[in-house]
Chains A and B, each alone.
Chain A
């Protein structure tokens, strides 16, 4: 079996998602006869790709919609990986485009891979019948043989030095949500209680430089213990976990955080660190070895019997096997995928991509390369070689069909073609519009944002009707890169 994981860019290969999830699974999948490879969406040709399974990973644009639909047509098993929750915050208009994207891609999917059961619940909210599988982020290799020695040595060193070295590591910010450093600041009040240990306390924060904005730094200034700040690198993370006695990993309860994987806690535990995690119990599946409060941590420290200790390594290894074993996760994924059957392509529908307010050139090329139609909505001002252009005109939409697309019109529509016109150097044939049957107004549209907001969803529905009338059954997708919630307030509803 060959799996292609569609990723948004070459850079993504270095990100934790690809590095931890697929990079660590790859050798184990290989042993099971499954080849998995990352494919940059910019270079992906759905009609030529030689794979049995396509997994869409973080490609939140129209190219993924086209690739999924085209792959489905070819009998490829198509799935989407959902490891970050940008989809359950239904009242947040900033994230409407993600919700629209998911609503559009799920009909083309045979399955979904999720980071946690919470993420799977979100998938079910969108499409209840879609099979899903939880893929835990695998740990980096097996539990080290000398973990017992490391744990004992760390405890002894903390007592000898009378110093508690704490660590927090990870991405400190997010463009949409308060996470990372804001969690550290919000929950750090409990760290002041560590003074009861009689030991000096130092928290080292290892994070990305973008998070170190004035706001991020001000938040760190609120932390009530001495704080050391370092820019993240893989090597620094390794060194920090080697030296730290415990990791402080607070988790807030918003959907985005609650859907995160267990990776950070597992990484810390494998490195021989205790884990104090307050807030949302994301790491509950790792059992009692996670400290949920400082009181029990201090009690154990005083007695010298920490929860993550040499005498509990066997249990820990079992937990890692259950929840973070690359081998087990690979086997689980293989079983899940091999039990899926690709759907047969249903009927001959024309693939069409409708460009909205902000256009996507590569998606335009992709759909045309697959023999589909690239359609300009009245909101689109981009200068691309569209196959169909919708224009506002008095009383409704005017529909312009290019020379190339003209033969694809159904007979009834061909008879309506009245005249030809030239749109930037290319010849188009006009099909007169008339009053729109749904709105009675024809869905006026132009570049005024308020008018677009008011008319967009209705106009798109009209375009869907016009396209089906002109070309027969169509599989329509919307390409919209604008951050505005243009496509309607309830973005889970079908647009076309």
Chain B
């Protein structure tokens, strides 16, 4: 179907053609004539577009606006010309003013709102609530599927309409292929029948309703149709919109799904004609996660082939869409993501497990801390998919539930899958606000049965707004066990695999967590976790805090020392004042830490004199506003291989009578694909890692604790990164504050970068 813009391009080419008659003046005349013609043609096409639209109702328009009827003007032309400027509506289901109010860019452009909606707004997904709610298409039982909904409807008189045969019109003629009584299309060659039936057998088998009498499940010998699925996205929880690229003329798309609600009955869930890549075919899903089979046919009903979509949740807006982005990242260049191909790869792995291959995951356990039951793991459709297709059972993880809400959730989350094809795998432990990735559910365990170890898995954090990029947090190849820090009331930060797993499984993305949209408040930024439960061990190990008084304003240092003296385990903490210090500061420190304050000329001397195994670095301006900081950080240091432990640092900026708090330093993550690059953990990243422990390439520059034994090495110059190992752990379970400072900022000791032990962060753009 030629588009309006294509016709304009033709005119444009003629206007500037060098051999156009009339020379320059002739060209000018021709240009003017063509411009007039173009405007007239444009108006003609636009009026036709409006009048053909279901949103324009001529009779309603004339009844509602009798002055238009009296004038004898064509109603479509009236609306196109002046009606919309006067705030009139083209019909009962489109509000001119609401559209312009909601779409300021359209209002500014001076475009006719209905025309804009038909040409652009519809395909751009402009908000439907701006139109009267009744305008949403209704799926009526007698006629469940509408025609393919074009985003541009620019038929011109020269274009003959494409006539196509709908499924209900296929009849029972010779050559008709029906599956479970549903007419599918006409077979062009007898040999194609088996191939098409194989595809339906795959759909049945993969949906958990195997047809033993047809073919072996999974052995699909499908006919590859001359088209591809360009894009697909969820309009709401049960409507999927698909866009196709037909390579040889118009084609009919029919979509089939087994309805688990009706014992697996095969249903046609969508049908439409795709003429160009701009046409949509909508699918009304019985379950948004169950597999789909697209059957492609010529308009006259002759079958072209099939396309399976094993995991619709990989489509845009679906639960697993961020995983699709992660799977396809890096090597696709500008090519579109192959949803079908990626889904098929995963499905083949799952099929191999169903056929007897050892799975990586046998069952799941769910930590219920901090959830409310609205998460996907509690929703019937997703649970039906976990049961029927993923074949996985779920148990509860964590302490006994005391509250009625928690005990309800514990009962609600349990699931015993009716399909038991996963013996021998490990147990996947997730927080209840996560969903398992398809990758982990489809992964085979291979020959790794001898090793039994717990492994943390990588995580994708997706935003509630699906148009925003998700973030992949990939664990380092080193042991990630040190940052398993379960805290009562705080949900598990990372997916965890118990039992069978390999060392390399840490890079496997185990789960997707979808964040809620609410921004963190000041209270949460200062105190991420409040409550009576302790964080970390009961008492911190003794720490010697290194402080360079000359870097500080005296009054700020007084406050920092006082805060430190009020923190947990203050009675066993020591102060090492390095370099020059005011006598008043020394006195104060000695009073707050009696007998535990020393002054040294250089940090090395403090190291030589160490009476504690742990050393803390308190850079200028940092206040431990949370008394639990030393306790939590020292408990993180108990794991071997941890080089430093630190927490996020927040800062408050006064704004009149209020203030704004933000995370200014929560360490640096490793960036993928760039050897030397790191990513500063600012507010956005910290928000995604909120209430977690994670490993960083470098700790926050002004607050960390480490082992005293490491200090001389770090102070020496010429340390080679390859000589280093270990992890810098950082946490957002507690925070410290940095007061605004003036003048030169000094960081006296920088722990070496440990990129190999750091979390990698990567934004996933759709």
**Which residues A143-185 have CB closer than 8 A to chain B?**
162, 178, 182-183
Q: For the complex, is B120 an interface residue (Cβ under 8 Å from A)?
A: no
Q: Is B169 an interface residue (CB 8 A)?
A: no
Known: A253-B373, A450-B737, A490-B531. A96 touches B523 (CB 8 A): yes
Q: Separation in Å of the B395 CB from the closest CB of chain A?
A: 18
* A440/B374 contact (C-beta < 8 A), A91-B489, A198-B141, A217-B127 known: no
Query: Does A221 contact B739, Cβ atoms closer than 8 Å?
Result: no
**For the complex, is B16 an interface residue (Cβ under 8 Å from A)?**
no
Chain-A contact segment, one of B72-80, B448-456, B560-568, B680-688: B560-568
9-residue interface stretch from B221-229, B245-253, B619-627, B708-716: B619-627
CB pair A189–B404 under 8 Å, yes or no, is: no
Contact B625 A453 (CB under 8 A): yes
Contact A253 B138 (CB under 8 A): no
Q: Are B623 and A450 in contact (CB under 8 A)?
A: yes
CA distance A257 to B403 in the complex (A): 12
Is B572 interfacial (CB-CB < 8 Å)? no
Question: Cβ of A229 < 8 Å from any Cβ of B?
Answer: yes
B530 touches A90 (CB 8 A): yes
- Identity of the chain A residue whose Cβ is nearest the Cβ of B629 in the assembled complex: A454
CB distance from B618 to the nearest CB of A (A): 13
Contact residue among B136, B141, B381, B659 (Cβ-Cβ distance under 8 Å from A189): B381
Smallest CB–CB gap between A147 and chain B, Å?
30
Q: Interface segment, A18-26, A234-242, A441-449?
A: A441-449
- Which residues of chain A are near B127, meaning CB under 8 Å? 217, 221
Q: Verify B562–A449 contact, CB threshold 8 A.
A: no
Q: Report chain B residues within 8 Å CB of A223.
A: 236-237
User: CB distance B372 to A254 under 8 Å?
Assistant: yes
**Cβ of B372 and Cβ of A88 under 8 Å apart?**
no
Q: A162 vs B409: C-alpha distance in the bound complex, in angstroms?
A: 36
Bound CA–CA A281/B533 (angstroms) = 28
State A94–B520 Cα separation when bound (angstroms): 10
Q: Contacting chain B: which of A343-351, A364-372, A467-475, A481-489? A: A481-489
Q: CB distance B140 to A200 under 8 Å?
A: yes
Contact status B408-A281, CB under 8 Å: yes
Report chain A residues within 8 Å CB of B518: 178
Known A118-B404, A187-B374; judge A454-B566 contact (CB<8 A): yes
> Within 8 Å of chain A (Cβ to Cβ): is B139?
yes
Query: What is the CB-to-nearest-CB distance from A273 to chain B, in angstroms, rounded to a whole number?
Result: 21
| Contact assessment for A90 and B533 in the assembled complex, using a CB-CB cutoff below 8 Å | yes
Q: Is B526 interfacial (CB 8 A cutoff)?
A: yes
Q: Which residues of A contact B141 (CB under 8 A)?
A: 162, 195, 198-200
Instruction: Given A226-B136, A229-B133, verify A92-B530 contact (CB < 8 Å).
Output: yes
Question: B236 touching A222 by the CB < 8 A rule?
Answer: yes
Q: Are A257 and B372 in contact (CB under 8 A)?
A: yes
Q: Which of B98-152 contact A (CB under 8 A)?
A: 127-129, 133-134, 136, 138-141
Contacts of B627 in A (CB 8 A): 454, 489
Residue of A92, A190, A293, A446 with most chain B CB atoms under a 10 A cut-off:
A92
Residues on the B chain within 8 Å of A94, using CB: 521, 523-524
B521 touches A453 (CB 8 A): no
User: Contact: A451 with B623, CB < 8 Å?
Assistant: yes
Distance in angstroms from A352 CB to nearest chain B CB is 24
Cβ contact within 8 Å between B489 and A451: no
* A200, B138: Cβ atoms closer than 8 Å: yes
Q: Quick check: A483 and B521 within 8 Å, CB to CB? A: yes
**Measured between alpha carbons, how far is A272 from B567 in the docked complex, in Å?**
60
B464 to chain A: closest residue by CB: A215
Q: Mark B274-288, 1 if CB is under 8 A from A, else 0.
A: 000000000011101
Docked pose: A222 CA to B127 CA in angstroms: 12
A178 touches B372 (CB 8 A): yes
Out of A91, A217, A448, name the residue touching B531 (CB < 8 Å): A91
Q: Which residues of chain A are near B563, meaning CB under 8 Å?
A: 450-451, 454-455
Q: Mark B735-758, 1 if CB is under 8 A from A, else 0.
A: 011010000000000000000000
Is the Cβ of A450 less than 8 Å from the Cβ of B625?
yes
A427 CB, nearest partner CB in chain B, Å: 29
Q: Which of B136, B285, B529 contacts A91 (CB 8 A)?
A: B529
What residues of A have a CB within 8 angstroms of the CB of B532 in the complex?
90, 489-490, 492-493
Question: Which of B238, B490, B522, B623 is in CB contact (< 8 Å) with A483?
Answer: B522
> Are A226 and B138 in contact, with the CB atoms below 8 A?
yes
- Compute how far the CA of A455 lies from the CA of B561 in the bound complex, rounded to whole angstroms: 11
With CB as the reference atom, state the residue of chain A lying closest to B142. A198
Interface check A439, CB cutoff 8 A: yes
Asked if B379 contacts A186 (CB within 8 A), the reply is yes
Q: Which residue of B lies closest to A278 (CB)?
A: B380
State the CA gap A118–B284 with chains docked (Å). 40
Q: Which of A182, A218, A258, A444 is the one whose CB lies under 8 Å from B374?
A: A182
- Contact present for B533 and A221 (CB under 8 Å): no
Output the least CB separation between B583 and chain A (Å).
14
**Which B-chain residue is minimally distant from A447 (CB atoms)?**
B654
B558 at the interface (CB under 8 A from A): yes
B527 partner residues in chain A, CB cutoff 8 A: 93, 96, 453, 485, 489
Residue B592 CB within 8 A of the other chain:
yes
Q: B484 an interface residue at 8 Å Cβ cutoff?
A: no
* A 268-285 to B, binary, CB cutoff 8 A, 1 in contact else 0: 000000000001110000
CB distance from B469 to the nearest CB of A (A): 17
Is B652 a contact partner of A449 (Cβ separation < 8 A)? yes
B239 adjacent to chain A (CB < 8 Å)? yes
Determine if B404 and A489 form an interchain contact, defined as CB atoms under 8 angstroms apart: no
Q: What's the minimum C-beta distance from A218 to chain B, rounded to whole angstroms?
A: 8
B133 touches A227 (CB 8 A): yes
B522 touches A484 (CB 8 A): yes
Chain A residue nearest to B374 in the complex (CB): A186
Query: Does B140 lie within 8 Å of A455, measured CB to CB?
Result: no
Q: In the complex, what residue of chain A is closest to B628 when comparing beta carbons?
A: A489
Q: CB-CB < 8 A to A258: which residues of B?
A: 403-405, 408
> Is B529's CB under 8 angstroms from A178's CB?
no
At the interface, yes or no: B262 with Cβ under 8 Å from chain A?
Answer: yes
Residue of A118, A182, A183, A440 ringed by the most chain B CB atoms within 10 A: A440
Q: What is the chain B residue whose CB lies nearest that of A395?
A: B591
Determine the distance from Cα of A439 to Cα of B531 in the docked complex, in whole angstroms: 22
Report B's interface with A, CB cutoff 8 A: 127-129, 133-134, 136, 138-141, 236-239, 261-262, 284-286, 288, 370-375, 378-381, 403-406, 408-409, 412, 465, 489-490, 516-518, 521-524, 526-533, 558-559, 562-563, 565-567, 591-592, 623-628, 652, 659, 661, 736-737, 739
The 4 closest A-B CB pairs, nearest first, are A450-B737, A90-B531, A186-B374, A454-B563
Given contacts A450-B736, A453-B527, 9 further A-B contacts (CB under 8 A): A90-B531, A90-B533, A221-B127, A254-B373, A453-B625, A454-B625, A455-B562, A484-B522, A485-B526
